[in-house]
């Protein structure tokens, strides 16, 4: 093959490090963004937290890089106009060797003897985790709670081994997910113990007396019955509840109250009292132990109505104000190529890129949130039933961005409205044609289904077919299978399970 040189023209999209950083910051949630900012502050000496009290103290000609960044633009101009800020260093001449009298009066306070400067050395964050609540705030798992109660229980060595095996086979809901015979065989083979099944059952019944009530049970029926057995004997309708759970649990789950009334010979008012007692029981008692700490959502934007107009504002608390450290920036010398000067110059450039990426993220978020509010104004005014259909492509055209960018902006970003806090993706939904030729949002249809079910007669709940007819009377034409799909997404059971006694 003959070798030759050829010249070609072409276009190629290159992902620069700055663009990659901007995209990565764009898709971060609020909590992840705060961690990213903290990491940048720890690794880049050119970045610092902006002191709000001193933001306006700089000279008028100071470079824009020294301004606080919280949705504000940062300039990329030269650093020559930056002035060094005075460092508030502690006085090195403070005398710490304070002589104390050998004989102290009984009622003498340490504050009267030590200088005021010593008090600050013990303040701050040094003892933030030493309080009583922080030392005892750790959530124990269900297994740890059961083991703690087991250590307080007097059992033989063999029974303790059986109890440990049963606790290990108990899931987070409090159910024993392993057959007792399998537990017996595994103990007999692994530990060469001669254990009868009756011994395993006896230990199981002992563990079922532990807290929370209903743990270490094999099924729902046993779980509820164990909880009833731990109630005081004087509890009203206790015996009737035990009869229904032990004999008529299937009919109770299917909502067949007529058959329960016929078999138990109870009156309808009496059955209501029994069902009220059963509803106080916990079907998953293990979930009350070791619950994960609640993570509260921090909204990225606030939407409020001011003077008859809906206004969109960025949350000023989602990211701290950052600026370029003027002291370190002033140390950079243009003609110096030493390692230290190169290190400072590189960190300065990275700090500028980071501030610009933050500004780009906030600017894009504001554009998208504003367009969403303009499109879903009826939702803010009248509620979920007035939600309009919306897809990513429509917002992408309005803000002149790609759909993938809109998808990143709306993921894990939240909007605080007078009707609650919603993820930005909540406002996007498919559409269903109406009888008048218009379109209705699937979110609005779900709200209508929830409203119809909430207002239905508990004796005769609405079927999916009946809901379809009612929506069609309101001008919304939806298939019955679509209604069933929406109902399941709303965690609404079918009509036979919603039937209740009045």
444 has pLDDT over 50: yes
The reported pLDDT for the residue numbered 304 is: 93
203 has pLDDT over 90: yes
130 has pLDDT over 50: no
Name 312's bridge partners.
Answer: 303
pLDDT digits (tens, 9 = 90+) for 221-257: 999 999 999 999 999 999 999 999 999 998 888 878 8
CA distance 16 to 171: 49
| 149 vs 73, residue with greater confidence | 149
- Pull the structure tokens for residue 312: 């969109």
Q: Quick one: CATH architecture of 141-218?
A: Orthogonal Bundle (1.10)
| CATH match of 431-498 with 1.10.3720.10 | no
The reported pLDDT for the residue numbered 373 is: 94
The reported pLDDT for the residue numbered 199 is: 92
Question: How does DSSP assign 13-38, residue by residue?
Answer: ----HHHHHHHHHHT--HHHHHHHHH
Q: How far is CA 210 from the centre of its chain?
A: 31
Interval 303-328 mean pLDDT? 88
pLDDT digits (tens, 9 = 90+) for 445-456: 999 999 999 998
Maximum mean pLDDT: which of 56-70, 118-132, 409-423? 409-423
The reported pLDDT for the residue numbered 131 is: 42
* Residue 326 CB burial class (10 angstroms; 0-12, 13-18, ≥19): buried
CA distances for 151 relative to 147, 148, 209, angstroms? 6, 5, 14
Q: Of the ranges 78-87, 301-310, 325-334, which one carries the lowest mean pLDDT score?
A: 78-87
Maximum mean pLDDT: which of 55-59, 114-118, 347-351? 347-351
386 has pLDDT over 70: yes
pLDDT digits (tens, 9 = 90+) for 329-341: 888 887 778 888 8
Interval 369-384 mean pLDDT? 92
The reported pLDDT for the residue numbered 86 is: 28
Q: pTM of the predicted model, to two decimals?
A: 0.62
Q: CB–CB of 372/424 below 8 Å?
A: yes
Interval 268-279 mean pLDDT? 90
Q: Where are the alpha helices (DSSP H) in 191-287?
A: 197-207, 220-229, 238-247, 249-254, 257-264, 268-279
The reported pLDDT for the residue numbered 254 is: 80
């Amino acid at each position: 093959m003959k070798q030759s040189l050829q010249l070609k023209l072409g276009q190629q999209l290159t992902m620069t490090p700055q663009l990659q950083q901007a995209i990565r910051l764009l898709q971060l949630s609020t909590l992840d963004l705060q961690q990213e900012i903290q990491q940048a502050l720890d690794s880049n000496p050119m970045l610092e937290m902006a002191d709000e009290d001193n933001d306006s103290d700089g000279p008028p000609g100071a470079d824009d890089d020294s301004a606080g960044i919280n949705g504000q633009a940062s300039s990329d101009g030269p650093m020559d106009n930056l002035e060094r800020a005075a460092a508030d260093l502690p006085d090195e001449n403070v005398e710490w060797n304070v002589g104390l009298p050998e004989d102290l009066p009984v009622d003498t306070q340490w504050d009267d003897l030590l200088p005021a400067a010593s008090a600050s050395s013990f303040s701050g964050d040094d003892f933030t985790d030493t309080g009583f609540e922080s030392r005892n705030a750790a959530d124990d798992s269900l297994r740890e709670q059961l083991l703690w109660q087991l250590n307080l229980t007097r059992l033989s060595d063999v029974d303790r081994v059986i109890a440990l095996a049963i606790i290990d086979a108990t899931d987070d809901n409090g159910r024993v997910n392993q057959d007792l015979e399998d537990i017996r065989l595994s103990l007999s083979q692994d530990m060469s113990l001669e254990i009868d099944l009756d011994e395993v059952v006896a230990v199981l019944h002992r563990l079922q007396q532990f807290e929370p009530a209903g743990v270490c049970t094999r099924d729902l029926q046993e779980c509820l019955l164990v909880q009833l057995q731990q109630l005081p004997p004087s509890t009203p309708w206790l015996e009737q509840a035990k009869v229904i759970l032990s004999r008529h649990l299937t009919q109770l789950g299917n909502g067949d109250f007529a058959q329960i009334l016929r078999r138990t010979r109870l009156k309808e008012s009496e059955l209501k009292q029994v069902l009220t007692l059963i509803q106080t029981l916990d079907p998953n008692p293990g979930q009350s132990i070791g619950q994960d700490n609640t993570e509260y959502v921090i909204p990225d934007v606030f939407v409020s109505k001011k003077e008859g107009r809906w206004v969109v504002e960025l949350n000023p608390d989602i990211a701290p104000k950052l600026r370029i450290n003027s002291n370190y920036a002033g140390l950079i010398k243009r003609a110096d190529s030493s390692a230290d000067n190169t290190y400072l110059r590189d960190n300065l450039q990275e700090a500028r890129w980071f501030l610009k990426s933050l500004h780009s993220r906030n600017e894009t978020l504001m554009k998208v949130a504003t367009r969403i509010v303009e499109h879903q104004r009826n939702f803010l005014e009248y509620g979920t039933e007035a939600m309009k259909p919306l897809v990513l492509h429509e917002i992408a055209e309005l803000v002149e961005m790609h759909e993938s960018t809109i998808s990143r902006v709306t993921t894990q970003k939240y909007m605080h409205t007078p009707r609650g806090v919603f993820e930005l993706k909540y406002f996007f939904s498919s559409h269903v044609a109406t009888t008048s030729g218009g379109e209705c949002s699937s979110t609005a249809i779900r709200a209508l289904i929830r409203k119809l079910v909430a207002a239905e007669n508990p004796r005769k709940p609405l079927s999916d077919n009946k809901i379809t007819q009612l929506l069609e009377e309101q001008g919304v034409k939806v298939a019955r299978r679509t209604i069933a799909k929406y109902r399941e997404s709303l965690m609404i059971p079918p009509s036979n399970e919603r039937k209740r006694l009045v």
